[in-house]
Structure 1
Amino acid sequence: MGYAWNDLPDELRASIEGRTGVVDGAVSPTAGTVSDFAATLETTGGQVFCKAVREDNAKAWMHRLESVVNTVIPASIAPRMLWKIEAAGWLALGFEYAPGRHADLSPGSADLPLISRTLEMLAETLTPAPPLRAFSLADRWSGQDFWHKIGDQHRDRLDPWIMERLDTLIMAEREAPDLIDGKTLVHTDLTGPNLMVDGDTVRVIDWAFPAPGAPWADTAYVVIRLIEAGHTPEEAEQWADSVAMWREASPWSITAFGAILTGLWTLRAAETPGAPWDGLSTPGLTWLRHRLR
């Protein structure tokens, strides 16, 4: 359970109101967040979205990274950060309010063409990646052995299809880091809640975990989310074909990335059964079955 506005330290609330004016109300987001506090603040100066984290939170670094990333991303892509406050052992970020709703990824959604155009705009605008102190996708995934660990430690969870292809999956995750390397700043968490749709405009929020990588990588993340939302793998990839960077990627590069990403989720699901890992591993495995059929 996250903190409510009135639960925050007096010093922090006073510092925020020094930037916003009096806070008359705080509406929590409908989607999940890694922040200790997140809300749209109703203030005398207008609406502001605020996320805050205790500085002893292990994920506080993500908020610090986002505060830097936001300064180099065009306002057409993401809402502007208005202020950063450190007080009472907390870090708080204030962003301009982004009107609209979360993107609908379900089959037949009218948002899907908008998301395709947004992905192409992101790759065009963020190549080459702005200068940031952020690990690349290749660095992030280098040296992982998820499928090897699953085969050694959780063989009881493996169905015959995975057992028959375990060597291929191990090889794919070893090759994936080099294949997903690139010079585009990739969001790496493009879910429906992180895509705000307002008419024909889509803005991308929560830039807490970006990395330089292949320009098609964000499309691959969305493909898995589409399967999670009810698309068949064939339908999800047919949608992805509308994105120019995806069409230019080698099929094995995409398969290898799907393998290492699903390997992570499947290992986590084995170690900690239940949400969210099972909910991610299942569509990932569905996609791999399609690509390795």
Structure 2
Amino acid sequence: MIDRFEWRDLPVGVRVAVQDHTGAVRRAESASVGRNSAFAASLTTAEGPVFCKGGRTGSSQAVMHRNEAAVSSHLPGDLAPRLLWQVEEEGWLLLGFEHVSGRHADLYPGSADLPLVADAVTRIAGITPPATRRMIAAHWEAALANETDELAARAPRYMHGQTLVHSDLNPLNILVADTARVVDWAWWRIGAAWIDPAFTVVRLVAEGHEPGPAEEWAAQFDAFRDAPAEAITAFAASLVCLWGRRFAGTAATEAARTWVEHRMTNGPGFP
């Protein structure tokens, strides 16, 4: 997690610009999770609660926040919090979102949240994405350009498609109440419809599922069930390579490694 700024630490002009939208900020509670925003807090304001996050305009965080702002108008309000306003002032970019209640999703085996998560994954795949060239296959190809693992390097060839992909469906990005709502769209891309179900398999394994049952859960999605076996195996191998560089030893990286070993041992999708 990056170092977080408190509300009082933001430049005066930035706070004034936010309050032009919200009225007086009476309380600010910094988010306890997340790694992509220099500022992230629930604000209690004269106009009601709002979730605000952002970063410096010259940083990589600003690119991610602009990505999120670009997709927000395409997302149904009952699937993702609505973007209410955007402020760019004194070298800061801040986004204000509808404040939604809920707890982080439980993905453990047998969880009652799993059908709600499945519904969210289905709904994401049905959204018409923005007209853009944010193709996940090209992004993956560039990231794997110097990769020597032949299986991992095959992944991009299978990732082409026209489906909106969230690409970071970890439990912290899924808020559950009566339904599951998905937050943090900074990493969205466009690609094959099997990709988000496959990302979710890794998260299920990280939360205690065996790889086989995790794949059975993902097989409820036609795109995952019908994907070439090698595509899924190569994708899992690519996650080990890419995540291992930045997140070695994390539960997600180790889950991806466990998944690859399962697929290699059980035979699908490799020569």
Q: Would the TM-score normalized by the shorter structure come out above 0.5?
A: yes
In the TM superposition, residue 147 of structure 1 has moved relative to its aligned partner by 4.7
Deviations 1:165-196 (A, max 9, x none): xxxxx332232111011110101111101111
Structure 1 pair 240–262 and aligned structure 2 pair: CA distance change class (3 A) = same
In the TM superposition, residue 146 of structure 1 has moved relative to its aligned partner by 5.8
Give the match for residue 138 of structure 1.
Answer: 137
Pairing partner for 2:211 from 219, 222, 233: 233
Q: Which deviates more from structure 2 when the two are superposed, residues 244-253 or residues 104-113?
A: 244-253
Residue 258 of structure 2 corresponds to residue 286 of structure 1: yes
- CA distance in 1 between counterparts of 2:166 and 2:20 reads 32
Structure 1 residue runs of 5 or longer lacking an equivalent are 149-169, 270-275
Q: Where does structure 1 differ by over 3 angstroms across 4 or more consecutive aligned residues?
A: none
Give the match for residue 154 of structure 2.
Answer: 175
Quick check: 2:27–2:44 contact (8 Å CA) kept in 1?
yes
- CA distance in 2 between counterparts of 1:130 and 1:68 reads 8
Partner letter of residue 136 of structure 1?
M
In the TM superposition, residue 218 of structure 1 has moved relative to its aligned partner by 0.6
Structure 1 pair 288–217 and aligned structure 2 pair: CA distance change class (3 A) = same
- CA distance in 2 between counterparts of 1:67 and 1:48 reads 16
Structure 1 pair 3–110 and aligned structure 2 pair: CA distance change class (3 A) = same
Within a 5 Å distance, the mapping from 1:61-72 to structure 2 comes to: 61-72=63-74
Give the match for residue 20 of structure 2.
Answer: 18
Pairing partner for 2:186 from 197, 208, 211: 208
TM-score for both structures, normalised by structure 1: 0.85
Quick check: 1:22–1:43 contact (8 Å CA) kept in 2?
yes
Quick check: 1:146–1:263 contact (8 Å CA) kept in 2?
no
Residue 243 of structure 2 corresponds to residue 265 of structure 1: yes
Deviations 1:17-76 (A, max 9, x none): 111011111122232231000011011110100002011222211111111111222223
Deviations 1:189-223 (A, max 9, x none): 11101111111x11111110111111110111111
- CA distance in 2 between counterparts of 1:108 and 1:4 reads 38
| Structure with the bigger percentage of helix | 1
- CA distance in 1 between counterparts of 2:27 and 2:109 reads 36
- CA distance in 2 between counterparts of 1:52 and 1:130 reads 22
Quick check: 2:155–2:234 contact (8 Å CA) kept in 1?
yes
Give the match for residue 27 of structure 1.
Answer: 29
Task: Calculate percent identity across the aligned residue pairs.
Answer: 41
- CA distance in 1 between counterparts of 2:198 and 2:186 reads 18
- CA distance in 2 between counterparts of 1:69 and 1:130 reads 6
Say what the alpha-carbon RMSD is for the aligned residues.
1.5
Within a 5 Å distance, the mapping from 1:1-293 to structure 2 comes to: 1-126=3-128, 129-132=129-132, 134-143=133-142, 144-145=144-145, 147-148=147-148, 170-199=149-178, 201-266=179-244, 268=245, 276-279=247-250, 280-293=252-265
Partner letter of residue 214 of structure 1?
A
The structure showing larger relative contact order (alpha-carbon pairs under 8 Å, at least 6 residues apart) is 1
Structure 2 residue runs of 5 or longer lacking an equivalent are 266-271
